[in-house]
Amino acid sequence: MRVDFRTHGCDERGMFFSETDRCLIYLSNHETVEDIYCTITHELIHHCLDKHEMVDEIDEDQEEKLIYQMAWATESLI
């Protein structure tokens, strides 16, 4: 997966494009470097689900909820 950064141009924090196997990270929509890392991780999970053909089994809303739960799993388990 290739990661490209943009300084402006979208209201989204990041986007994954399965057709080109890349993601865009919009820097202006983040507050900290750690926030940027979280968005990269989020888009990387989209990539992994796509490569393992998991996205054919779930819709976009379910995919976003799954990624959210994965991101907060350590807090949920405590």
Domain definitions of the chain by residue range? 2-77
Taking residues 5-17, what's their average pLDDT?
93
Rounded CA separation 55/14 (Å) = 18
**Looking at residue 77, what is its pLDDT?**
65
Amino acid at 57: E
Residues 6 or more apart whose CB falls under 8 angstroms from that of 31 comprise none
Is 45 a residue whose pLDDT tops 70? yes
Q: What is the pTM of this model?
A: 0.81
Taking residues 48-77, what's their average pLDDT?
82
**Looking at residue 78, what is its pLDDT?**
59
**Looking at residue 53, what is its pLDDT?**
80
